[in-house]
Amino acid sequence: MNEQIPELREPLLQTDRVPLIAGNWKMNLDHLQAIALVQKLSWALKDARHDYGETEVAVFPPFTDLRSVQTLLAADKLSLVLGAQDVSPHESGAYTGDISAAMLAKLEARYVLVGHSERRHGHGESDELVGQKALAAHRAGLVPMICVGETAEDLEEHGAAAIPLAQLAAAVSSLPKDAEFVIAYEPVWAIGSGQAATPEQAEEVAKAIRESLRDLCGDERAAATRILYGGSVASQNVAGFLRQPNVDGALVGGASLKSDEFAKIVQFKKHVTGA
Ligand code: 13P
């Protein structure tokens, strides 16, 4: 007997939060490859009759691709949403190499990642800087997607939730109380490792994040905020995460670079339930 069958029949949970499937391309694809990927993705989702109102879909290309993708989305009236992978904490001025939140807003980006572990660890970004970036994004009308997560050592030493909650408090406390944001819980040990967290592990931390959000910004904001899971998400495991009451979507790295696989992830309800 297939032990998974009862689980597969369990209905996906209904909340008022619109699920969000986000593809973080990291440092992959030039602007021509970006156009090709977005075209293929939009065709795959059109074929699947994807309802963007039911599940929001966002892509986070490198900076050099944003203008090309924006132009394509506008020309073809595509409902995919644009995000950026980083933002300067500064408004403008002598910051060589930085990109401001206003520049991203002008490109019709809606989201920007802040605090991704590859920036925290690879570029020494502190909680304070992550908070400043989140605030800069908010001030320009963008929605910061605040990434939090523990390393394997943190997990062993402090358990799963302690570091993500500390990172969360630092970033959220830098924002005004009514600011909209998204949280992406990405255990560092699960990123690019092929070893995703279990749905139960993701839910445990997502639940703790939501509880902490109640203290940080009130019940209403906590109930409305989407918490995504990220780390080795694939079409085969995405539905397990989305079935958890506090997990509202996925932040997908490697699997977002393949249009068919990412389209399947977006269609998490259909391809698992067969609906
Ligand atoms: P992978 O999906 O490749 O593990 O990457 C996750 C991630 O870091 C998304 O931001």
Q: Specify the residue with its C-alpha closest to ligand 1, atom 2.
A: 253
Q: Specify the residue with its C-alpha closest to ligand 1, atom 9.
A: 253
Question: What is the pLDDT at residue 13?
Answer: 56
- Catalytic residue list contains 186: yes
How far does CA 260 lie from the centroid of its chain? 19
- Whether residue 36 lies inside any domain: the answer is yes
Average pLDDT over residues 211-238: 97
Average pLDDT over residues 247-251: 98
CA 69 – ligand 1 centroid, Å: 21
Q: Which 3-state string (H, E, C) describes the chain?
A: CCCCHHHHHCCCCCCCCCCEEEEECCCCCCHHHHHHHHHHHHHHHHHCCCCCCCCEEEEECCHHHHHHHHHHHHHCCCCCEEEECCCCCCCCCCCCCCCCHHHHHHCCCCEEEECCHHHHHHCCCCHHHHHHHHHHHHHCCCEEEEEECCCHHHHHHHCCCHHHHHHHHHHHCCCCCCCCCEEEECCHHHCCCCCCCCHHHHHHHHHHHHHHHHHHHHHHHHHHCCEEEECCCCCCCHHHHHCCCCCCEEEECHHHHCHHHHHHHHCHHHHHHCC
Question: What is the pLDDT at residue 3?
Answer: 37
Task: Look up the CATH number of the domain holding residue 174.
Answer: 3.20.20.70
- Whether residue 110 lies inside any domain: the answer is yes
- Whether residue 192 lies inside any domain: the answer is yes
Indicate the number of domains in the chain: 1
- The pLDDT tens digits of the residues spanning 111-141 come to 999 999 999 999 999 999 999 999 999 999 9
Q: Specify the residue with its C-alpha closest to ligand 1, atom 1.
A: 253
Split at pLDDT 50, 70, 90, the class of 270 is confident
For tokens 């749905």, name the residue: 199
Which one of 20, 21, 26, 265 would you pick to mutate in the ligand 1 pocket, going by the greatest count of ligand atoms within 8 A of its CB? 26
- Catalytic residue list contains 211: no
Q: Which residues have C-beta atoms less than 6 Å from ligand 1? A: 24, 116, 186, 191-192, 230-233, 251-255
Q: In ligand 1, which atom is closest to the CA atom of 116?
A: 10
Which is catalytic among the residues 150, 186, 203, 204? 186
Question: Both tokens of residue 260?
Answer: 């068919």
- Whether residue 99 lies inside any domain: the answer is yes
- Whether residue 43 lies inside any domain: the answer is yes
Which residues, 6+ apart, have CB-to-CB distance to 19 below 8 Å? Answer: 54, 55, 56, 226, 242, 248, 249, 268
Residue range(s) defining the domain that contains residue 118: 31-273
- Whether residue 67 lies inside any domain: the answer is yes
Q: Is residue 89 within 8 Å of residue 132, measured between CB atoms?
A: yes
Question: What is the pLDDT at residue 15?
Answer: 72
Q: In the chain, pLDDT over 70 holds for what percent of residues?
A: 93
Split at pLDDT 50, 70, 90, the class of 7 is very low
pTM of the model: 0.94
- The pLDDT tens digits of the residues spanning 183-206 come to 999 999 999 999 999 999 999 999
